[in-house]
Amino acid sequence: MMPTAPLELRYSLVWGSGSPRRQELLQRVGLPYELRVVTVDETVDPTWKTDQVAEYLALQKARAIPIADHELLLTADTLVLCQGQILGKPKAPAEAVAMLHLLSGNEHDVMTGVCLRTTQKEIILGARTRLEWYHLDSREIEWYVQEYQPMDKAGAYVIQDHGEFLVEGHTGEQATIMGLPLTLTKHLLTKAGLLP
């Protein structure tokens, strides 16, 4: 992935995610930021529309973090949708194995919601990337879970960790899969009039 040109903001950027993968992506756009993370309830109501859950959770994270007038808060949330099921972060290795069996040989969507918040406005949008996976046998799946310990990852995987072993192809921005769609984020900044 090519690095993007450095951006300049009119606000001090606050980054509301502890994910090292998202921080790596944010650093690619050359923006200095202050890390400010709080824990929010990420329980998903089964009655919610699946294509809006990531955006909703990104918004809840944003509303839980206090900011000053000169600050711009950026939050994001990512989830995996396969065969009508929302796959969040597995709670145990056995759940991770079950998720990977569901994903194996199938297409699924990775959806990332991004929220920008100042004291004056909130803007939120979502990005979707579709992936097609190779078929994995039980031995490969159990090895992956043991090797990468994906309990903190939606769908029990990230594309950076041996992604070529998992993913046959994808349609959409790869950064969406990694947790922060850079193109969408820049669009949000422009839409909010936050770029000079």
Structure tokens at 163: 């992604």
Q: Is 77 a residue of the active site?
A: yes
Distance between CA 58 and CA 193 in Å, rounded?
A: 20
Phi-psi region of 155 (alpha: psi -120 to 50; beta: other; left: phi over 0): left
Residue 15, beta-bridge partner list: 35, 74
Identify the three-state secondary structure at position 125: strand
- Burial readout 42-66 (b: 16 or more C-beta within 10 A, e: otherwise): eeeeeeeeeeebbbbbbbbbbeebe
Cα separations (Å) of 67 from 14, 24, 37, 62, 84? 8, 23, 12, 9, 36
- Which of 45, 77, 137, 152 is labelled catalytic? 77
Active site residues: 77
